[in-house]
Structure 1
Amino acid sequence: MEIIHPNISHNRIRVAIFDFDGTLSLLRSGWTQIMHALMFGELNRTPRHEDTTVLDAFITDLIYSTSGQQTIYQMMRLAEEVSNRGGMPDTPQEYLRIFTEELLARVNERIIAIESGANTPADWLVPGALEFLQALAARGITCYIVSGTGEDFVRDEAALLGIAPYFAGIFGAHADYKNHSKKIVIGKLVAQHALQPGELVTFGDGAPEIADTKAVGGIGVGLATDEEKRAGIHPQKRAVLVQAGADAIVPDFSECAALTAYLFG
């Protein structure tokens, strides 16, 4: 656990917000490779594309800097970058369809493995997630999921992983994406609970939820999860989270006692 800002307001937290993919769930691990392949294929066909090494690095930075946004915004950015290089882009909605179709094929295999008993829900949870949720429940903390993934998917997958009962509400992406951003949802929860500075903590592996939480006086804990190795810090995630204003960085929830001590004193 890396503490960036040690002087937070201890023992004032009443509400906790969690991102879903990469923060609690690993069912979508590998999504970055799928998105990278889609973006590389589209951009590499444009008239003014960079060489392979430069383009590869550009796409990697783009993906991690926009991680946590609703996926449609990443597809909008892809269409914009295709145009910038002299290409004729598909619509962001078509890019989203292609990406989602490929990702869901992988996710569905994992869901079937859980439902058949070949895997357990714990196999697809970020390490320590269930124990940490139990620790927050014991303290009476009200928890929510706020995700950039489609809300129906998040609800179904949270139930499959056995963590849905720990949340008072689950919010995800909608077709009406402009009215369902993380910033809007966080603002509504702050108003609903009349939260004062230091009474909200957010856990996430993307910049939006951390920055939006800090903007309303909350505490931001960055999950720099390495979703493939399932251990250690992912350096690119860490850099983005620190820049977004994270107060602390953790690789997962395995250091439950240390994280609880930091947040609650």
Structure 2
Amino acid sequence: MSFSIETIKEYSGRGFKCALFDFDGTISLIREGWQKVMIPYFCEVIEALGTNENKDGICEEVTEFVDRLTGKQTIFQCIALNEAVVRRGGEHVDPGEYKKEYLRRLETRIADRKNGLESGCLSPADLAVRGSVEFIKALRKAGIRCFLASGTDEEDVIYEASLIGVKDLFDGGIHGAKDALLDCSKEAVIKNMIEEQKLDPEELVTFGDGFVEIELTAKLGGYAVGVATNEKTGDGIDEKKRARLMSAGADMIIPHFEGTDAILKALHI
């Protein structure tokens, strides 16, 4: 078991009042491996156009936009797929149809996990990022208001948060994707949080494994902690995630939350 904190920029603010968490890959491992569903499916759609392109090139293109849009609502990745299809002379398809098929395929991968949690055959700790529940509780105890924002559909986020025992920990609410909303939901949550809580940006700390929430927080002047969990093993750093989070502007990189006391100390909490 390994734990280390990589500090890129020391926190020098007056203290945090609010914390924003991503869900999938940051707190929950229920959807671990979703990329292995989305990327092959998207490649399959493009290859079916019969353009005779190199398969590796298609995979590289799809992987790039899937990674870049990780953290935004799933529909944005499906919009990017539709654009890639149309650019090649294929027919426009409602991105919502691509999303439905992706979610259908994903469900076959994760159904046993959810069923296991529902039945008690699996413990919430089996599918939560190490130390995450205890860490959120520690922030709450320190008087920091906690918010959850996810690119996954809101109804699913609330349900899956209940399965791993974190639903009631977010006194700032749980915010997920809504069908009618095509703006970046995380950007809206962050801006509303700053306005409604009357925050200086330096009073916000964000924890996430996606490019979007880290970049948004960094640009707004908050403190961005990249959670580079190796989802397969649950321990250590995923170097691909780390590189993505660094390029997004992360101020700190952690592998998970098991070192709660060390993280709190590093954040001056």
Q: Which residue of 2 aligns with 1:164?
A: 167
TM-score (norm 2): 0.93
Alignment partner of 1:219 is 2:227? no
Q: Contact conserved, 1:70 with 1:173, CA < 8 A, in 2? A: yes
Q: 1:212 to 1:136 in 2, by over 3 A?
A: same
Residue identity matched to 1:81:
A
Moved more, 53-62 or 221-230: 53-62
Instruction: Report the 3-state secondary structure (helix = DSSP H, G, I; strand = E; otherwise coil) of the residue aligned with 1:86.
Output: coil
CA distance in 2, matches of 1:226, 1:167: 24
Instruction: Report the 3-state secondary structure (helix = DSSP H, G, I; strand = E; otherwise coil) of the residue aligned with 1:177.
Output: coil
Alignment partner of 1:119 is 2:115? no
Alignment partner of 1:228 is 2:232? yes
Instruction: Report the 3-state secondary structure (helix = DSSP H, G, I; strand = E; otherwise coil) of the residue aligned with 1:240.
Output: helix
CA distance in 1, matches of 2:181, 2:81: 17
CA distance in 2, matches of 1:136, 1:264: 12
Residue identity matched to 2:267:
L
Q: Which residue of 2 aligns with 1:191?
A: 195
Equivalent of 1:147 in 124, 147, 150: 150
Deviation of 1:118 (Å): 1.2
**Deviation digits for residues 68-118 of structure 1 (CA, Å, limit 9, x no counterpart):** 110000000001111222323432111000011121233332111112221
Instruction: Report the 3-state secondary structure (helix = DSSP H, G, I; strand = E; otherwise coil) of the residue aligned with 1:203.
Output: strand
Equivalent of 1:263 in 255, 263, 267: 267
Residue identity matched to 1:66:
L
Instruction: Report the 3-state secondary structure (helix = DSSP H, G, I; strand = E; otherwise coil) of the residue aligned with 1:16.
Output: strand
**Deviation digits for residues 125-174 of structure 1 (CA, Å, limit 9, x no counterpart):** 00110121121122111001011111111111111211112101100000
Q: Contact conserved, 1:49 with 1:85, CA < 8 A, in 2? A: no
Residue identity matched to 1:129:
S
Deviation of 1:10 (Å): 4.8
Gaps of 5+ in 2: none
Q: Contact conserved, 1:13 with 1:200, CA < 8 A, in 2? A: yes
CA distance in 2, matches of 1:29, 1:117: 19
Instruction: Report the 3-state secondary structure (helix = DSSP H, G, I; strand = E; otherwise coil) of the residue aligned with 2:168.
Output: helix
Alignment partner of 1:241 is 2:245? yes
Q: Which residue of 1 aligns with 2:79?
A: 76
Gaps of 5+ in 1: none
Q: Which residue of 1 aligns with 2:95?
A: 92
Percent of pairs identical after alignment? 39
Q: Contact conserved, 2:72 with 2:184, CA < 8 A, in 1? A: no
CA distance in 2, matches of 1:132, 1:31: 25
Alignment partner of 1:53 is 2:43? no
CA distance in 1, matches of 2:128, 2:108: 19
Q: Contact conserved, 1:172 with 1:180, CA < 8 A, in 2? A: no
Equivalent residue pairs, number: 264
TM-score (norm 1): 0.94
Equivalent of 2:30 in 27, 30, 39: 27
Q: Which residue of 1 aligns with 2:255?
A: 251
Instruction: Report the 3-state secondary structure (helix = DSSP H, G, I; strand = E; otherwise coil) of the residue aligned with 2:202.
Output: coil
Aligned-residue CA RMSD (Å)? 1.6
Residue identity matched to 2:238:
H
Q: Contact conserved, 2:13 with 2:203, CA < 8 A, in 1? A: no
Moved more, 31-40 or 100-109: 100-109
CA distance in 1, matches of 2:184, 2:48: 33
CA distance in 1, matches of 2:9, 2:52: 41
CA distance in 2, matches of 1:19, 1:205: 7
Q: Contact conserved, 1:13 with 1:201, CA < 8 A, in 2? A: yes
Moved more, 12-21 or 100-109: 100-109
Instruction: Report the 3-state secondary structure (helix = DSSP H, G, I; strand = E; otherwise coil) of the residue aligned with 2:130.
Output: coil
Q: Contact conserved, 1:64 with 1:237, CA < 8 A, in 2? A: no
